[in-house]
Amino acid sequence: MIRNAYLLSVDYEGNSKAARLKFFDPERQEIFFMIDWTGHRPYLLTDAPPERIKEILGQNLMSRVHSITSVNKFNVLEDRNVVLTKVEAKDPLAIGGSPNNIRETLKSEGYRVWEANIKYYNCYIYDTGLEPGALYLIKGPNEVELSCKFEAEDQQIIELLSGGKEELEFAKRLIPLLRQPAPKLKILALDIEVASPRGMIARSKDAKWPIISVSLSGNDGLKQVHLLKRGRPPEKSKTHLGASIIVHEREEELIKEIFNIISSYPLILTFNGDDFDLPYLAERAKELGIKSNIIKKERDKVTVETGIHIDLYKLFRNSSIRVYIFNNAYIGATLDEIAEALLNERKIEVDKSNIPDLPPEQLAEYSFQDAYLTLKLGTIDNNSLIRLLFVFSRISKLTIEDVARYGISKWISNMIFYEYRRRGWLIPNPEEIQAIRGRETFTKATIEGKKYKGALVLEPVPGPHFNVSVLDFASMYPSIIGTWRISFETINCPHEDCRTNRPVEDLPHWVCRKGLGIIPDLIKTIRDLRVRWYKRIEKDPTKSPTERDWYGAVQRGLKVLLNASYGVFGYENFPLYSPPTAEMITAIGRKAIMASIEEAEKEGLRVIYGDTDSLFVENAPKEKIEELCKKIHEKLGIELELDKVYRYVILSELKKNYLGVLEDGSVEIKGLLGKKRNIPAFVRRAFEDVISILKDVRDEKDLENAKQEIFAVIRGWCDKLERGEFSLQEVAFEVMLTKPTDGYVKTTPQHVKAAMMLERRKGIRIQPGAVISFVKTKDKNGVKPVEFAKKEDLDLDKYLEIMETTFGQLLGALGTSFREVMSGVKRGSLLDYF
DNA sequence: GCGGACTGCTTACCT
DNA sequence: ACAGGTAAGCAGTCCGCG
């Protein structure tokens, strides 16, 4: 049977002792497997001679060895070919997983080993050249072929690139992969509730208590709550969201039914299902004697045999996803906070310590809401997350399941490892990179405790500025990596004649000029493809909305990769960690921005601010800007471009703090206190009120008038505060708890005090990631959780102080101050503090 | 014993 | 668990002050 199917995942199958490919057939909405047919085996590389292996490993380990051969590899750190011994094993655990293993035995004998820490299924993907996430044509039991190939029309994309052979070859593989949209999948969200006694937290390790409810919400319209019969039957047959309430006499029956339904969906979504829902289900099933292997617990994930499982808790916690995909719209990592921020919906409020004692209808409502929210989050924005996972999987070569669980450094290192294996390059060990290419840095960071100097931030010229052009280096660090060819491969290379190639005079590091390395090619290709092609076709009106959605995901996905491509080199746990590389990249960045300022000033342009890769230029004629960009490109080889023109900008005296109004009246606020989400909603609303006045300002005269209006509005809000015209909720500060309350040993910040009061009074533990709402009070403690406070507890002076600092940033830039604005106002007793 | 100057911790932001 | 740079508010400490 010939069919099309997406490769979703690869794992190791213990019975057949081989890799197993998990495919998804979109037409039948069905998962199927193929066991490796190539005879591939796990292995490591070592410098121990082949003839000595037997003796070193001993009889016991040798029985687990499949073969010993010699292989040629290219060692990039020393720029030479090497011959190494490849030890193939009969099972992956023999390499490095079991107590007595080949890796450690070789090391203890003083030999070096390489590529022994890579998970077997990833190793398999590298060697077979499989493309996770891609669509395949399944031609027979031993024959699969990529459905999407490089086509004649793709040549036009290649023309946009200017690289060498390697770069084009990489692009030719990537382009077809990024053309194929993500499949439509039947999706099921699942959530369970457990009869844990009051105050006890159910854990999946010892699934002591019965499962009392399982809620299911599918994108095909399935809505069910399965309840275990306890006491009286529910009075309703449906929840208010329309989920059928189904009661089971026995827990076995319930679990069996759930397994049945799960198995008909290729994608299962949970919120924290890796740590709780799925392992708990599996453990209960085992305890009740249900024979099923549908849920498989692995080291750092729980998978579903009949599909794939994505734990949205892990996915939403991924900071690349949070920052670049959701623009920091949520901070906490709880279902309630994310749902509130992204969907404007909340969990149903119940007494958390008492869920098992809820009446059955209420339990059903509460439980179903969680499954409902999980499905909604997982399919948000017309399945944009699923699309992104496919994009990331195809670029990083990680399985969909791993992409959804690991962070950006893993995505990047896996992509690089794949390319290394493909070319027969030896993947170096971290300690060798540092020993051979250096680990020392020579610049001093501004922030104490950091390893090297970062970006440059210019001192702003405070005050209002009209007609401000913002120039920036598009993807500055990736451009530097590509143009100067900076990576762990090229920094401090072994060639004597490259030592004079020092892009930054005050750093002793040199850079290879012989074209060594592939990372600069990969980054440059991704960068050029994004800015020259995918960003354009995302906006192409001749494309269908579906296609534009897809290319939007591609474009954003590439951006996420690029944004982290410099940072990983400065990250200790990145397998290709190289402090000199990171230090060189930021140093070139500083040099580029300095050169641009110099050039701009030479042209008679006035630079009023700049941060890292941007320049704010006041009143610059268009021709002069074009001239400047051209000159900089010629001089430095990276592209400086006009990003936007502000009708006017108000710079505060602080760095990273300003307000800009674009020609269309839209306001961009950066860093100002009024924008921070931890300040009370009351203050934020007052701030927004003021901002709305600034929208319509076109010239200095307007600004003068607006100022008077602003003063009046600020006074108005202070009056409101004084008269108590607000709800408690509106004056609550909202600050995230980043660790458990007992983890704060050095100081006890206010939000922690409030959290501790909540814990004491309610007898619960507050989890990291929860956002604490508290108000400032006059009592000794100074704070109270909003739910325990009364209006008369409030310390209004504190609230006036925050109004002062919030508006002070703006007022200072407008040549006045909060005090001045408030003077002449008739004050009640509360304002006597002025 | 108390307040001001200071440092360090914590959180949230910018690029 | 990608990096460094900037800002704010508070907790805690030290020191001077009869």
pLDDT tens per residue, range A1-10: 889 999 999 9
**Per-residue flag: A782 CB under 7 A of strand C:** yes
Q: What is the mean pLDDT of residues A141-156?
A: 91
C1' of B9 to CA of A736 (Å): 15
User: Which pLDDT score is estimated for A769?
Assistant: 83
Weakest mean pLDDT among A201-205, A233-237, A689-693, A723-727: A201-205
Instruction: Give the list of residues 6+ apart from residue A137 with CB closer than 8 angstroms, or none.
Output: A2, A3, A4, A144, A145, A146, A147
**pTM for the model:** 0.94
User: Which pLDDT score is estimated for A826?
Assistant: 44
pLDDT of residue A715 exceeding 70: yes
CA atoms lying within 13 Å on the CB side of residue A35: 7
The protein residue nearest C10 (Cα–C1') is A749
d(CA A342, CA A335): 10
C1' of C4 to CA of A447 (Å): 8
The protein residue nearest C4 (Cα–C1') is A454
User: Which pLDDT score is estimated for A827?
Assistant: 44
Q: State the nucleotide closest to A655 in CA–C1' terms.
A: C6
Predicted confidence (pLDDT) per residue in A210-265, tens digit: 999 999 999 999 999 999 999 899 999 999 999 999 999 999 999 999 999 999 99
| Residue at A8: amino acid letter | L
Q: State the nucleotide closest to A453 in CA–C1' terms.
A: C4
C1' of C6 to CA of A607 (Å): 20
Q: State the nucleotide closest to A772 in CA–C1' terms.
A: B11
C1' of B11 to CA of A738 (Å): 9
Q: Any idea what DSSP says for residue A243?
A: P
At A833, is the pLDDT very low, low, confident or very high (cuts 50, 70, 90)? very low
User: Which pLDDT score is estimated for A764?
Assistant: 83
Q: What is the mean pLDDT of residues A143-171?
A: 89
pLDDT of residue A620 exceeding 60: yes
pLDDT of residue A182 exceeding 60: yes
**Per-residue flag: A457 CB under 7 A of strand C:** yes
Residues 645-704 of A with CB under 7 A from strand C: 654-657, 671, 673
Across chain A, what does the average pLDDT equal?
A: 93
C1' of B13 to CA of A366 (Å): 35
d(CA A748, CA A781): 11
User: Which pLDDT score is estimated for A767?
Assistant: 85
User: Which pLDDT score is estimated for A824?
Assistant: 59
**Per-residue flag: A543 CB under 7 A of strand C:** no
d(CA A317, CA A306): 26
pLDDT of residue A763 exceeding 90: no
Q: State the nucleotide closest to A670 in CA–C1' terms.
A: B14
Residue A367: left if φ>0, alpha if ψ -120 to 50, beta else—which one?
alpha
At A172, is the pLDDT very low, low, confident or very high (cuts 50, 70, 90)? very high
**Per-residue flag: A26 CB under 7 A of strand C:** no
C1' of B4 to CA of A462 (Å): 30
C1' of C2 to CA of A129 (Å): 27
**Per-residue flag: A584 CB under 7 A of strand C:** no
C1' of C14 to CA of A523 (Å): 52
C1' of B14 to CA of A670 (Å): 8
Predicted confidence (pLDDT) per residue in A479-490, tens digit: 999 999 999 999
- Helix H or strand E segment including A81: strand A80-89
Q: State the nucleotide closest to A568 in CA–C1' terms.
A: C2
Contact of A158 with A245, CB cutoff 8 Å: no
pLDDT of residue A16 exceeding 80: yes
d(CA A679, CA A113): 53
Taking alpha carbons only, the member of A581, A560, A588, A579 closest to residue A409 is: A560
Q: State the nucleotide closest to A673 in CA–C1' terms.
A: C8
At A825, is the pLDDT very low, low, confident or very high (cuts 50, 70, 90)? low
d(CA A807, CA A675): 11
User: Which pLDDT score is estimated for A86?
Assistant: 98
Weakest mean pLDDT among A137-146, A197-206, A385-394, A558-567: A197-206
User: Which pLDDT score is estimated for A152?
Assistant: 92
User: Which pLDDT score is estimated for A299?
Assistant: 85
Radius of gyration of chain A (CA): 30
Q: How many CB atoms neighbour CB A760 within 10 A?
A: 10
C1' of B2 to CA of A710 (Å): 40
C1' of B8 to CA of A748 (Å): 13
